[in-house]
Amino acid sequence: MKNNPCINIPVSRPAVGKEELLKVKEVFATGWLGMGSVVFKFEEELKKILNTKYVIAVNTGTSALHISLDSLGLKPQDEVIVPSLTFVASLQAIVQCRARPVFCDVYEDTLNMDVEDASRKVTKKTRVIMPVHYSGLPCMMHEIIAIAKNKGITIVEDAAHAFGSYYDGKKIGSIGDITCFSFDPIKNITCGEGGAVSTNNKVIADKIINKRVLGINKDTWHRYKNRRTWQYEVNMSGFRYHMSNINAAIGLEQLKKMDKFIERKRKIVRQYDEAFKNIGGLEPVRRDYETTAPFNYIIKVKNGRDRLMEFLKTFGIETGIHYIPNHLQPFFAKYKVKLPATEKVFKEMLTLPLYYDMSETDVLFVIEKVKTFFKK
């Protein structure tokens, strides 16, 4: 078989077009490219969609996680319980706050936080539990909230995959203490780059609002605006994490398309599920597509995962592995623990192509080639 190094079907791709370009052009015409009215409009739209009191737009999903944890005033040796099977951004946000990540396992069928394992790892030092809604499927939030209740533990949801998903009739973003979203190029909607924090807690929201612009107090900024335009007050540590009007303009147009994005991806994953359900040695990760906005599509290959990757690559089909467990990474070696389910699924998991603009021909081609591999 002749190898084809050219990828014709990527594992993911953003869906942006002339509408987003027009909105960016409008921002350019105003001359105000940084944070301004377009960002505030984007935040208002997100509040309506998520049904939450406060939304703070930031420049990346990683910034959303970091600034949220920082707003809690974590101290060295404070512990944050987090699944190892997540993008490294979750872990970097924790260690940047000088806190200690405590790795927990995942369920093999969903790849979401193992609630029983998380509960076993709660100590007097536990300050935060960080559930990761893997691939858009919400974690068991009622159980996680029950663990945290009355113990002074804050729930910071990593919802980078889960914008548009529901849990128990409520949008992800309106349930835990703090929820963090990512709007990078391949997420359920994109701002080009961007993220957001949602919360119903005014104290936390006010801290994050100030921290995203270098700790500058927004009230004093406005207070002096009409008299001494150079005057401002810095009342806390902060970062340059604010979103720009350019990115918010893209996001506003993406919000208009969100429902059709979700429905198209749901159709594709259902096709995959139906096609693969009777293939021995292959198991799709379990999802509830009535409530989940799918981010990516994961299968577990019992034997020959790497051979399947290479086989699909010869036909121009890109695949991926999401993710290398963080407890196996050199930088986090001192926090390493045994996580049997995580280590097992890491050897089996494979991400197949899934994106809004994926054609029916491409979907059927991926299905055909996966089936061909397992017939060999």
Residue 256, pLDDT above cutoff 80: yes
Q: How far is CA 230 from CA 209, 220, 221, 226, 233, in A?
A: 20, 11, 9, 10, 10
The string of DSSP codes covering 293-328 is: ----EEEEESS-HHHHHHHHHTTTB--B-S---GGG
Residue 80 contacts residue 102 (beta carbons within 8 Å): yes
Would you state the pLDDT for residue 229?
Answer: 66
Would you state the pLDDT for residue 227?
Answer: 56
Report the mean per-residue pLDDT for the chain: 95
H or E stretch at 155: strand 154-158
- For every residue of 72-103, which 3-state class applies, written as one string? CCCCCCCEEEEECCCCHHHHHHHHHCCCEEEE
User: Span 173-191, mean pLDDT?
Assistant: 97
Would you state the pLDDT for residue 219?
Answer: 63
The distance in angstroms from the start CA to the end CA of the chain is 14
Would you state the pLDDT for residue 234?
Answer: 93
pTM of the model: 0.95
Domains 18-254 and 258-375 are alike in CATH topology: no
User: Could you read off the pLDDT of 102-123 as tens digits, one per residue?
Assistant: 999 999 999 999 999 999 999 9
Residue 307, pLDDT above cutoff 60: yes
Would you state the pLDDT for residue 228?
Answer: 58
Distance of CA 179 to the CA centre of its chain: 10
DSSP-derived letter for residue 182 is E
CA distance 54 to 31: 28
CA distance 81 to 116: 12
Residue 3, pLDDT above cutoff 70: no
Give the CATH architecture of domain 18-254: 3-Layer(aba) Sandwich (3.40)
User: Span 351-363, mean pLDDT?
Assistant: 98
- Six-digit token pair at 163? 């914008």
Phi, psi (deg, nearest 5) at residue 100: -110, 115
Q: How far is CA 139 from CA 104, 131, 145, 173, 266, in A?
A: 13, 7, 11, 13, 19
Would you state the pLDDT for residue 1?
Answer: 39
Residue 7: exposure state from Cβ atoms within 10 A (0-12, 13-18, ≥19): middle
Would you state the pLDDT for residue 272?
Answer: 98
Would you state the pLDDT for residue 150?
Answer: 84
Catalytic residues: 187
pLDDT band at residue 225 under the 50/70/90 scheme: low
Residue 337, pLDDT above cutoff 80: yes
The string of DSSP codes covering 201-230 is: -HHHHHHHHHHTBTTB-HHHHHHHTTT-TT
Would you state the pLDDT for residue 349?
Answer: 98
pLDDT band at residue 2 under the 50/70/90 scheme: very low
Closest CA to 319 of 304, 341, 340: 304
Which residues, in sequence order, are CB contacts of 257 under 8 Å at separation 6+? Answer: 15, 189
Would you state the pLDDT for residue 308?
Answer: 98
Would you state the pLDDT for residue 222?
Answer: 58
Pairing of the two strands 154-158 and 178-182: parallel
- Which contacts qualify for 327-332: CB closer than 8 Å, 24 or more apart? 327/84, 327/103, 328/84, 329/88, 332/91, 332/101
Would you state the pLDDT for residue 303?
Answer: 94
User: Could you read off the pLDDT of 152-180 as tens digits, one per residue?
Assistant: 999 999 999 999 999 999 999 999 899 99
Fold of 258-375: Aspartate Aminotransferase, domain 1 (3.90.1150)
H or E stretch at 118: helix 115-120
Closest CA to 314 of 1, 10, 3: 3
- Six-digit token pair at 357? 């603009």
Q: Delimit the domains of the chain by residue range.
A: 18-254, 258-375
